[in-house]
Amino acid sequence: MSAQAFHSWGEVFYHINPYSWAAIGIALSLGLSVLGAAWGIFLTGSSLVGASIKAPRIRSKNLISVIFCEAVAIYGVIIAIIMVNKMQGLSESAPGIYPPEAIAAGYCLFWVGITVGGSNLSCGIAVGVSGSGCALGDAQNPTLFVKMLIVEIFGSALGLFGVIVGIIQANAGNFPKQT
């Protein structure tokens, strides 16, 4: 590619490879989801370990809270796989010039990553905090477990919303078929 002069920010963005937008989207969706899941697991886990010293019976039951957090990471993986499958068939008509469909698809996948990553990060923290409360509550009073579990399920639903919206969003972004 020869040295070029850019005249505006729009032009700068126009010349960025749509694949790189899509790849950043994948990185965000997977990375933020895993961050959220890990955060939730350490919030739950540290409380669970402490609480199960005096009440060992809670230790297997409360692994459910950890699994809820883990699910958040799986959401990110699912979306990342869907997005990877969409990345194919990019052709340059001239150096640095991409077809408009490809540019639209690149932006689309980037924002899918933001949607899914952001919602799963907050979902992971929410499930982690309620899971930590669940472990402490269960240790004191076993009847609280089911009640806290419902709170956790609703927290977990937040991440699912992100996934559903992300899938619908990703449907719009298709790279043009290679000819």
Partner 1 sequence: MELSFFNVKDGYLEALVRGLRSGFLSADEYRRLAQCESIDDMKLALEETDYGMFLQDEPSPIPSTVIGQKCREKLANEFRHLRSQANYPLSKFLDFLTVEKMIDNVVGLIQGTVNKKSPQDLLGRVDPLGWFPEMKAIASMDITSGYEEIYKTLLIDTPVGPYFESFLKQVTPADSESRSMQEVASIFNETDLELMKNMLKKAWLEDFNAFCETLGGSTAEVMGHILKTNSDFRVMSVTLNSLNTMLGSSQQLGDRNLLYPSLGYLYPEGTDRIRKAWNETTVRAALEPYKPYAALFDLCAPYYSKERSGVTDIKQLKSLEDLIYEKEVELCEFAFEQQFHYGVFYSWVKLREQEIRNIVWIADMISMGRKEHTEEIVPIFRPRY
Binding site residues, partner 1, CB under 8 A: 39, 42-43, 46-51, 53-55, 125, 128-129, 132-133, 135-136, 139-140
Contact (CB, 8 A) for 128 and 69: yes
Name every residue whose Cβ is closer than 8 Å to that of residue 97 and which is 6 or more positions away in sequence: none
Q: How far is the CB of 171 from partner 1 (least distance, A)?
A: 33
| Nearest CB to partner 1, comparing residues 71 and 125 | 125
Q: Are 29 and 76 in contact (CB under 8 A)?
A: yes
In terms of CB distance, is 22 or 48 closer to partner 1?
48
In the complex with partner 1, the residue whose CB is nearer, 104 or 144, is: 144
The CB-of-4 to partner 1 minimum distance in angstroms stands at 45
> Using CA atoms, how far apart are residues 46 and 149, in angstroms rounded to an integer?
18
Closest CA to 70 of 115, 131, 1: 131
Closest distance of CB 122 from partner 1, Å? 10
With beta carbons less than 8 A apart as the criterion, state whether 64 and 106 touch.
no
In the complex with partner 1, the residue whose CB is nearer, 132 or 169, is: 132
